[in-house]
Amino acid sequence: MKLQAIAVALLLLPVAAASLANPKGKAGKTVEMSVTDKGFEPAVVEVKRGEPVTLIITRKTDKTCATDIVIDEVGVKQPLPLNTPTKVTFTPTKSGELKYGCAMGKMLGGVLKVQ
């Protein structure tokens, strides 16, 4: 009986963790992005305030400084390994523009337009 209860608890753990990360149950928006010789593509992404955003970023080049993504306003600094899709998830809390870019003073970057 105890083993069954433990097994059920272990199965429900990811569900509980997901609901804590997204308490309102909103699905949010997923955006696939690339880092190419031109920089981040797309460079402008529209998202909604208060809804989770997941950026799936694949760095396809080693010829730029964009080996990380930095979004200062939401505390994101995430390495972007070459040819590996990397998830970056956050929830914007203010409307306006969130600038993002590489770790080198945002030489390459773009804008998340939060509505």
Question: What pTM, to 2 d.p., does this model score?
Answer: 0.74
For position 4, what pLDDT does the model report? 54
Quick check: 66 and 35 in contact, CB under 8 A?
Answer: yes
DSSP secondary structure, 22-44, as one string: STT----EEEEEEEETTEEESSE
- DSSP reduced 3-state for 108: coil
Q: Which percentage of the chain shows pLDDT scores above 90?
A: 69
Quick check: 111 and 44 in contact, CB under 8 A?
Answer: yes
What is the C-alpha to C-alpha distance for residues 37 and 46, in angstroms, rounded to an integer?
Answer: 23
Please write the tens of the pLDDT for every residue from 44-99.
999 999 999 999 999 999 999 999 999 999 999 999 999 999 999 999 999 999 99
Which residues are 87's β-sheet partners?
56
List C-alpha distances in Å: 101 to 2, 30, 65, 79.
50, 18, 10, 12
Q: Which domains, from first to last, does the chain contain? A: 27-114 (2.60.40.420)
Q: How confident is the model at residue 103 (pLDDT cuts 50, 70, 90)?
A: confident
* pLDDT at 101 exceeding the cut of 50: yes
What is the C-alpha to C-alpha distance for residues 33 and 62, in angstroms, rounded to an integer?
Answer: 16
What is the C-alpha to C-alpha distance for residues 34 and 3, in angstroms, rounded to an integer?
Answer: 45
Chain mean position to CA 78: 9
